[in-house]
Amino acid sequence: MGGFYIDWSGELVAFFAFAVVMIVGAVLMLTLTKVVHMVASLAAVFLGLGGMFVVLEAEFVAFTQVLLYAGAVTILLIFGIMMTDHQAVQREPVRPAHEIVSAVASIVLFGILFYAIRTTEFAPSAPPLQAGVDNAMEIGKQLYTQHVIPFELVSVLLTVAFIGAIVIAKKEAE
Amino acid sequence: MTKWLEQPLSWENALFFTAMAVVFLLIVLLYVVYAILFERKVLGWMQWRHGPNRLGPWGMFQTVADVLKLLFKEDTIPRKADRALFIIAPALCYAPSFAVLAVIPYTRELYFADLNVAVVYYAALSAISTIAIVLGGWASNNKYSLLGGMRSGAQMISYEVPLVLSIVGTVMMTGSMNLRKIVEAQGDWFWQWNFLPQIIGFGVFLVAAVSELNRSPFDLPEAESELVAGYHTEYSGFRFAFFMLAEYVYMFAIAGLASVLFLGGWRPPAPFLDFIPGIVWMILKMAFVIFFLFWLRATMPRVRIDQLMGFAWKVLLPLAILNVFVTAVGLELFIKG
């Protein structure tokens, strides 16, 4: 065992295709200068992530991801940009010290994550959740039995946020 | 298709699926060509005129000629437009519209994907088209396009909420989001189909669907009297054709979805009529829904943008939520209890 033996299956090809989409999208997001282009490449990252969930057989999460992030959040960002920012191109001032520190920080973060992922062993004892057949149903069962209190708390939180948004908008209107 | 979909994916299967997709694409393109002709004819008849009647018998080749004209037209890109987004937008708008057709079961045997979250899949992919329309409107660098794109984004996001919520009642009655199971769960007689117990849901679904399609009376994004042509003002040639194609393919998809969710899918209206194959019933139901959309367009005047947005949030959304509650209570009292 050990080393990187790669068995080329369709799943792996799909994984790499979506990974390339996500990484290219993320890099473009950071390097492009027009804000709308950035949002478009961010949408590509969201779509790639949705595809990744499909590869993992989590269809419900995948399409919820596409619906909420690639759909709603991206549109919201585009609206926000169009309504507030009149200067479409943003130029960052060059700060070499800042860039070096962030490069070191991200390499360290990558190292920690890589080490953690390589050394983790999943305990095979717990019975695996049979989510492959109808995972929307399984997620629903989990949400309404085991995780019902966090679920309700999140819905209260969202309602509060919703009412807060209305209050702020009302205040602005007056 | 069941046999093919359950096999592991080999090269032969992949080739077969690709061939099926191409054949289906050709069928859909043929449908679009004749849907446009039929729309113009129906509008003509309802407004007491002939509609296209010059090219071929009964004007049969009018849209074929129109498509050829669009393909050979000069492809213009405005100099101040954002080139990359301007080019990507029409394709990004069209691709999801064809992809959503995969989950709609046309008969018990003929379906392209047996997906357990088909309803969410449909909503998710149609949201991508919205982004494409907004981006296309923005990239044109034209105030009418931008306004059309913004209107379209606001409208499609607003109406997606009641559209999805109106489906929830049907999903609750079936206990599955798989469109094939939803059809299987509907009864043999036509009064056992979902449109009667879910009459509120069906109404909300139809109104929200017309708005999602950006069709008259809700065609604010391309209101020609105020916005020239809305988000596709600057588009010409085949890029314009792609936007139109997406609209008509979405019409096909919505018709399929309405038939499957509320009108019994491939089922005949009475059990003794089942000697007629399911595909005929499915086509009849889809044709009926599509005709209904043409009929609305010929009859209704366009609404104002603030009326449109108010209608979504103040009328359709509460109705859809009410429908979810009523369905839950009804299921608890009469079906399970």
Cα dihedral B16, B22, B24, B26, rounded to 10, equals -150
Does residue A118 form part of some domain?
no
Does residue A157 form part of some domain?
yes
Structural domain span for residue A84 = 1-92
How close does chain A come to B270, measured CA to CA in Å? 31
Of B9, B131, B176, the CB nearest to A74: B131
Residues A88 and A139 in one domain: no
Which residue shows structure tokens 């469109």? Answer: B179
Of B82, B128, B153, the CB nearest to A79: B153
Distance CA A110, CA B57 (A): 69
Q: What is the pLDDT of residue A5?
A: 63
Size of the A and B interface in Cβ pairs below 8 Å: 81
| pLDDT tens, position by position, B198-252 | 888 899 998 888 888 877 777 776 766 677 777 777 788 788 888 888 888 999 9
Does residue A108 form part of some domain?
no
Q: What is the pLDDT of residue A1?
A: 43
Q: What is the pLDDT of residue B1?
A: 67
Q: What is the pLDDT of residue B305?
A: 79
Q: Are B91 and B247 in contact (CB under 8 A)?
A: no
| pLDDT tens, position by position, B148-183 | 888 888 888 888 889 888 888 888 888 888 888 888
Residues A14 and A73 in one domain: yes
Chain B positions touching A133 (Cβ under 8 A) are 116
Does residue A50 form part of some domain?
yes
Does residue A37 form part of some domain?
yes
User: What are the residue ranges in chain A where pLDDT is below 70?
Assistant: 1-8, 84-93, 123-133
Q: Do A40 and B146 touch (CB under 8 A)?
A: no
Distance of CA B165 to the CA centre of its chain: 17
Chain A positions touching B160 (Cβ under 8 A) are 71
Residues A85 and A137 in one domain: no
Domains: count for chain A: 2
- DSSP H helices in B140-223: 143-174, 179-184, 199-212
DSSP type of residue A89: B
Distance of CA B118 to the CA centre of its chain: 14
| pLDDT tens, position by position, B28-75 | 888 888 888 888 888 888 888 887 888 878 878 888 888 888 888 888
Which residue shows structure tokens 């194609």? Answer: B245
Q: Do B85 and A67 touch (CB under 8 A)?
A: no
Residues A4 and A85 in one domain: yes
| pLDDT tens, position by position, A112-128 | 999 998 888 776 655 55
ipTM: 0.78
- Interface residue ranges in chain B relative to chain A, Cβ cutoff 8 Å: 9, 82, 84-85, 88, 115-117, 120-121, 123-125, 127-128, 130-131, 134-135, 138, 146, 150, 153-154, 157, 160, 176-178
Q: Do B130 and A43 touch (CB under 8 A)?
A: no
Mutation for A interface: B93, B117, B142, B179, most A CBs within 10 A: B117
Which residue shows structure tokens 């943003």? Answer: A90
**Residue A35 maps to which CATH number?**
1.20.120.1200
| pLDDT tens, position by position, B295-312 | 888 888 888 878 888 888
| pLDDT tens, position by position, B241-254 | 888 888 889 999 99
* Domain final residue pick, A92, A122, A139: A92
Residues A75 and A150 in one domain: no
pTM for the complete prediction?
Answer: 0.83
Does residue A148 form part of some domain?
yes
Of B88, B117, B150, the CB nearest to A82: B150
Q: What is the pLDDT of residue A24?
A: 92
